[in-house]
Amino acid sequence: MRVKNALVRGPGDSFVEVFSTLTVSVFALCCLLPFAYVFFVSFMPYTEYLENPLKVIPSKFDLTAYRQMLGYKLIQSGYQVSVFTTVVGTILSVFLLVISGYPLSKTNLKGHRFFIYMVLFTMFFNGGMIPNYILIRNLGLQNTVWALIIPGCINSFNLILMKNYIKSTVPETLEEAAKIDGANDIRILFSIVTPLLKPAIATMTVFCSVGYWNNYFSAMLYLQDRKLWPLTLVLRELVVENTSAVSPVTQMLTSTHRSHPFTLKMAAIIVTITPILIVYPFMQRYFVKGISLGSVKE
């Protein structure tokens, strides 16, 4: 009796393939079109936008919005702060994740359960905005860029991922072998374990850098000096025109006196997202890996 080869493609497979491709293409277009619109409108003369706000391709490329926006001092300082917090914060975060994830992956660590519960606790409960503010103030971090970096340095979710990844990837026999060869714990961590964590480190780098780049709330809460505002906060100031005032009249007055041309808002968005967008293609494959990172159960 001849067994039907399961790998032979039938007409149904082609249909599924075409259907899948079309569906994915539609979703891809849904994601890309807004970006394309933002990009092209940022180069459109404002009068042309007013004539037809749905027009996508400008009749001529106009750099007025970029000139106007890059003239803002806050954009310049925002770039510096964002790059600094993203680079330093990511390095610090990844370093801390590795050095805390490694001991937590050891079940024979004294107080292992206690430390794990402590980490888990912070995932579900939080002191709230005011206690956090008071803590940062009392630590002397208020109005420093460190207030943007240190509070978010160890994300408990990322720490659990890292711990699980180390546990599932690094065989204990390898560490034992290193110990027999005379390596101490620090040496084992940095010379034996860390090189095996490259995929996890790359994924965490992407997670952390995106997190740091997009963070604006800490800046709103902890910073007084506008020179320390990250780019995202500056962008929000330019693009969003709300006010948290209770009185509707106050809201209206404030909104009216701070509106910016739509083209300038689009230019601000492009300038803000471009750096982090450039990072994505290089890190994309790690993002895919990151989905299953640490998913192996203890």
Question: Shortest gap between Cβ of 20 and another protein (angstroms)?
Answer: 35
Question: Shortest gap between Cβ of 228 and another protein (angstroms)?
Answer: 6
Question: Shortest gap between Cβ of 119 and another protein (angstroms)?
Answer: 22
Q: Give the span between the Cα atoms of 230 and 228, in whole angstroms.
A: 6
Residue 181, H or E segment: none
Q: Give the span between the Cα atoms of 174 and 52, in whole angstroms.
A: 66
Best CA proximity match to 236, nearest among 265, 210, 209:
265
By CB atoms closer than 10 A (0-12, 13-18, 19+), residue 76 is middle
The residues of the shown chain that bind another protein, judged by CB under 8 A, are 47, 50-53, 72-74, 129-130, 133-134, 137, 139-146, 186, 220-221, 224-229, 233-234, 236-238, 240-259, 262
Q: Which two tokens stand for residue 100?
A: 């805390």
Cβ 289 vs Cβ 205: under 8 Å? no
The CA-atom distances, in angstroms, between 289 and each of 87, 100, 153 are 22, 21, 22
Contacts of 60 (CB under 8 A, 6+ apart): 45
Question: Shortest gap between Cβ of 278 and another protein (angstroms)?
Answer: 25
* Closer by beta carbon to another protein, 108 or else 224: 224
Q: Give the span between the Cα atoms of 298 and 29, in whole angstroms.
A: 40
* Closer by beta carbon to another protein, 111 or else 248: 248
* Closer by beta carbon to another protein, 118 or else 220: 220
* Closer by beta carbon to another protein, 193 or else 202: 193
* Closer by beta carbon to another protein, 73 or else 285: 73
* Closer by beta carbon to another protein, 75 or else 161: 75
Question: Shortest gap between Cβ of 290 and another protein (angstroms)?
Answer: 28
Question: Shortest gap between Cβ of 188 and another protein (angstroms)?
Answer: 14
* Closer by beta carbon to another protein, 210 or else 221: 221
The CA-atom distances, in angstroms, between 106 and each of 163, 182, 197 are 9, 20, 16
Contacts of 76 (CB under 8 A, 6+ apart): 70
Q: Give the span between the Cα atoms of 63 and 263, in whole angstroms.
A: 10
* Closer by beta carbon to another protein, 24 or else 139: 139
Q: At what angle do helices 262-291 and 73-104 cross, to 10 degrees?
A: 10
Question: Shortest gap between Cβ of 241 and another protein (angstroms)?
Answer: 5
Question: Shortest gap between Cβ of 14 and another protein (angstroms)?
Answer: 42
